[in-house]
Structure 1
Amino acid sequence: MNRKEIEEQIIQNYRQEEQMMILVFAQWCINNDLDPAAIYLRAHPDQAENPALQQAIELTVSKDEAGEIADEMILNVLSLFGNEDLAFVVTEEIAKRKATERKS
């Protein structure tokens, strides 16, 4: 492989991993009865139309079919990709859920 091919392979790998991060985020939202598009829009108001998110949402399954995605895991995945804005909004949603659980 020449240098250009290696760079293209690295970019392709990153895109695939980024798509997996978006899918994990979308499934976490579904598992927690949240709208992935609405949560994403709060973090990134300038990205109302996000094809990668739409594709990920189409790939999600019902929360009954999905495995659990721990809050810590989604926050770690978002941080790994430098998506701090989305991690902040997710943290807000986790706090809301935990406050509601304490009241119950």
Structure 2
Amino acid sequence: MNEKIIKQYQEDENIMIHLFAQWCVNHDINAATLYKNAYSHQHDNGILLNIIEETEKDSLQVDTETVIHVLQLFGNEDLAFEVSKAALNF
């Protein structure tokens, strides 16, 4: 049971990363830089970097409110704040 819960959380977290990366690519924002702004004390996020490479612009439309909400659901308040700041520029 615990393995199933962990696997589901990891899959959900992967979806969150995809949504964030897609939002950034769609708005011509460097997702790695935005992530680094939020979490300057962390090393590069390898999963995020891989997903960024695979993401094609406008392959999925993700609105700002959705990406902020999903980030907050996973406790990524700092990254959600950076997304909010970036969204003010468009």
Runs of 4+ in 1 over 2 A off after TM superposition: none
2:2 counterpart residue number: 7
The answer for unaligned runs of 5 or more in structure 1 is 1-5, 98-104
Counterpart of 1:101 in structure 2 is: none
Per the TM alignment, residue 8 of structure 1 is displaced from its structure 2 partner at its CA by 1.2
Structure 2: which 5+ residue stretches go unaligned? none
**Count of aligned residue pairs for this structure pair:** 90
Map of 1:78 onto structure 2: 71
Larger Rg computed on CA atoms: 1
Calculate the TM-score normalised by the size of structure 1.
Answer: 0.81
| Correspondent of 2:22 among 24, 27, 32 | 27
What's the counterpart of residue 46 of structure 1?
Answer: 41
Match of 2:61 in 1: 68
Q: In the aligned structure 2, how far is the partner of 1:19 from the partner of 1:47?
A: 18
CA distance in 1, matches of 2:63, 2:57: 16
- Tell me the amino acid that sits aligned with residue 85 of structure 2: E
Amino acid at match of 1:94: A
**1:96 alignment partner, SS class:** coil
State the distance in 1 between where 2:50 and 2:13 align: 12
Q: Which secondary structure does the structure 2 equivalent of 1:12 belong to?
A: helix
Contact in 2 for aligned 1:23/1:59 (Cα 8 Å): no
